[in-house]
Amino acid sequence: MRDHPQPPIPGERLIESMQQANAWARGENVPGMRVHVPEAYDVRKIRARMKLSQKEFAARFGFSLDSIQNWEQGRRIPDGPAMTLLAVIAHEPKAVERALRAVS
């Protein structure tokens, strides 16, 4: 007689999925869960084009290092004003730098 794996108990997969979703929402790395970020807001690509480290990019444009890391690792997506600022940085980084210098 061969051992067969037991079928999942009804709702077990749903509970596991909800636990994974909660872990992801807390910022934990959950294998297989990534957020799609449109290229206009792809911080890693923008940063690479500018040849800046995460720390340099964060400091230059007023982001927290944690935000940069979370966006690049797909744990979070930029929202609201951050999306707008990233879109401008992607196309006109010098304009953002001038504006930030003018208010500091």
Average pLDDT (52-71) is 95
User: Which pair of tokens denotes residue 33?
Assistant: 């869960």
Helix ranges (H only) for the chain are 12-25, 43-50, 54-61, 65-72, 80-91, 93-103
Q: pTM of the full predicted structure?
A: 0.63
Calpha distance 37→18 (Å, rounded): 22
pLDDT band at 37 (very low <50, low <70, confident <90, very high): low
- What would the pLDDT profile of 67-81 be if each residue is shown by its tens digit? 999 999 888 888 889
Domain count, the chain: 1
Q: Assign 3 a pLDDT band (cuts: 50, 70, 90).
A: low
Classify residue 57: in a domain, yes or no. yes
Confirm whether 26 is domain-assigned: no
Q: Domain span at residue 81?
A: 35-103
Task: Report the SS3 class of residue 8.
Answer: coil
Q: Kindly report which listed range (32-36, 59-63, 97-101) carries the lowest average pLDDT score.
A: 32-36
